[in-house]
Every structure is written in structure tokens, then in C-alpha cells.
Amino acid sequence: MAERKKLLKRFELREFPQPDLVKLKYPVFMCHGYGAIGGMIKSGPMHDPCMKVRSHGVPAIAPNIVPYARIETRAKNWVRLINQFCEKYGCEKVNVIAHSMGGLDMRYALSKLDIADKVDSLTTLATPHHGSSLADLVLKAPDQVTEKLGEMFDWFGDNMYPKTKSDALGSLEQLTCAFITNIFNPETPDKDGVAYYSYSAAVGKGTEYSLNPMYKFQNNHIYDKEGPNDAFVSIESAHWGTHIETVPLSHLAQMHVQMNKESDRIYQQFWQQVLERLAESGH
């Protein structure tokens, strides 16, 4: 009898099976980071998070720009698309959620490109606000190696997004600890009137959460230089503005790439919580 009741319980309908609705004052505009891994297997690096945001009733968009280019070039692209989005849909402002390098792009855009009046908040996820020792490591490789990598990534980027010329090595140089700490941060002050939030992430070494063995070397390298990290960006580097929390998701899992059952559960909860916190803060 108990087994029968248990079986029938599985067929019981939930009154509200859909995701919880979250009400934001402004829609969400999502910015992706450096590289094209997510875009190779999906409509874009931030497409899945965007669909997750929409599932909670929040209008959201996640456009694609050049995957390999310098911050100032990428920032101009985001500004153009934010203006286009606001004009098309009659939006006064947007809440920007930026992943990885996208957070640097938007900090530059807000500081220097006259877009702050259209941005209510900037939330960054695993953005290297203080640089990445992984970028330092790649650029320390022999010149022949870095040149070949640059040529390959530029060719790849030019074919994926032919509207803007790629510059893989130039953009990678802007992710180094020295550039971000000594040049970018001092010259890119936060804009008054915009709320700045940040999330960091960590898996692998120094945590209880597993990591794809493919990224073990770089995870260990960043750990030795900066501490716990998501295999691309450290917790320490991801802090900017009001730091909310550290999420146990790899850099790729944050975009819903290379998932397992546990990381998918964390991913689902994380994106809902991001929206709920924005709503609680009046955005």
C-alpha cells in the first residue's frame, strides 16, 4: 500500500509548476566575455542564462559581439546594442549582467562612453577586475607560440563575427594583472548613479566542488598565484563594487556549458537568486 501511494504521488500535479516570477523595474541586458567557446555550441555564450532569466518573466536580451577584441572596441559594440535595444523596445534603462571580460567592457563603457544614463545597475560575474594570472601565463609563452595562437583565434573570430576585426593577443594583454591594476582601474572610475555588484566563483583546488580535469592545470596555476578560482578568474580578482557571494560553478558552467546534475542545480538556483536580489534592491 505504501509503495502504491508513493507511486501515485509522483503523478500528483503541482498547482504552479512554472518557474517563480520575478518583477524587475528594468529589463536585463547580458554581455559575454572573451572567447567563443559558448558560441560554438549555442546561439551565443550567454544565450542559456538569458533564456533562464526570461523563464522568470523578466525581459532579457543576450546579443553577440566580436569574441576577441580590445576592451574599448568591445565596449563600443555594447553601447551600440544597448541604445538599439532601448530604442526598439522603448526602455528607459537596463540592468546589465556581464560575464568575465564583459564586465570590464561595461565598466569602460559606463566610465567613458556616455551610456550611464541608460544603465541602472551593472552586475559582473567572474570578471577579472584585478587581472588574470592565466593571461600572464599565456603571454609568457615563446613568441612563436603566442603568435600562432593569436593568428588562429583571430581567424576563428573573424569568421564567427566578421563585422569587427579580431585582436586576440591585444585583448589578452588587457586581461593581465599589470594592465588592469596599473592602467585600467586607475583610468576607469565607477560612474555615479549606477549600482555596481559582483559575484565571484570557485571550484576545484581549495574547494569541495569538482572541476573538469581538462582545466586542472590552469586551476592549479591560478590557485598558486591568486587563490581559489573558477579555472579562469580568481575569487579575489572578481570582487568589485558590492560583492554578493562566491558561486560554486566553473567559468563555463556559469554559461551552462559542461554541466552535470549538481552544477545544473546550482546554476538554476544561482540565476534566480541574481534576479531576486536585483528586485530586492529596486532595479
pLDDT digits (tens, 9 = 90+) for 168-206: 788 889 999 999 999 999 999 999 999 999 999 999 999
d(C-alpha 131, C-alpha 109), whole Å: 18
Residue 213 DSSP code = G
d(C-alpha 237, C-alpha 72), whole Å: 20
Give the model's pLDDT for residue 7: 64
Strand order across the 242-247 sheet: 60-61, 28-31, 94-99, 119-125, 195-201, 242-247
Q: Span 221-232, mean pLDDT?
A: 96
- Pair 180, 130: CB distance under 8 Å: yes
pLDDT grade, residue 229 (50/70/90)? very high
Strand partners, 195: 121
Of residues 1 and 109, more confidence is placed in 109
Q: Span 34-63, mean pLDDT?
A: 87
Give the number of residues written for the chain.
283
Q: Would you call 26 helix, strand, or coil by DSSP?
A: coil
Give the model's pLDDT for residue 90: 96
Beta strands 119-125 and 60-61 are unpaired
Of all residues in the chain, what percent carry a pLDDT higher than 70?
Answer: 93
Least confident of 33-42, 75-84, 87-96, 132-141: 33-42
Query: Could you tell me the pTM of the whole model?
Result: 0.92
Q: Identify the H or E element spanning 266.
A: helix 261-280
CA atoms within 13 A on the CB side of 119: 31
Which CATH architecture describes the domain 21-280?
A: 3-Layer(aba) Sandwich (3.40)
- Pair 278, 27: CB distance under 8 Å: no
Mean pLDDT taken over the chain: 91
Q: Span 274-278, mean pLDDT?
A: 98
Domain locations along the chain: 21-280
Instruction: List C-alpha distances in Å: 281 to 24, 136, 192, 255.
Output: 10, 37, 17, 24
| Per-residue cell: 272 | 534566480
Give the model's pLDDT for residue 122: 98
Give the model's pLDDT for residue 168: 78
Of residues 105 and 261, more confidence is placed in 105
Please, which residues have CB within 8 angstroms of residue 84's CB and are 6 or more apart in sequence? none
d(C-alpha 38, C-alpha 166), whole Å: 17
Residue 116 DSSP code = G
Return the sign of the alpha-carbon dihedral for residues 129, 134, 138, 141. Answer: positive
User: 576592451: which residue's cell?
Assistant: 71
1: pLDDT strictly greater than 80: no
DSSP per-residue codes, 36-101 = SHHHHHSSSTTHHHHHHHHHTT--EE-----SS--HHHHHHHHHHHHHHHHHHHT-S-EEEEEETH
Q: Would you call 19 helix, strand, or coil by DSSP?
A: coil
Q: Identify the H or E element spanning 237.
A: helix 235-238
Q: Span 252-274, mean pLDDT?
A: 94
Of residues 1 and 263, more confidence is placed in 263
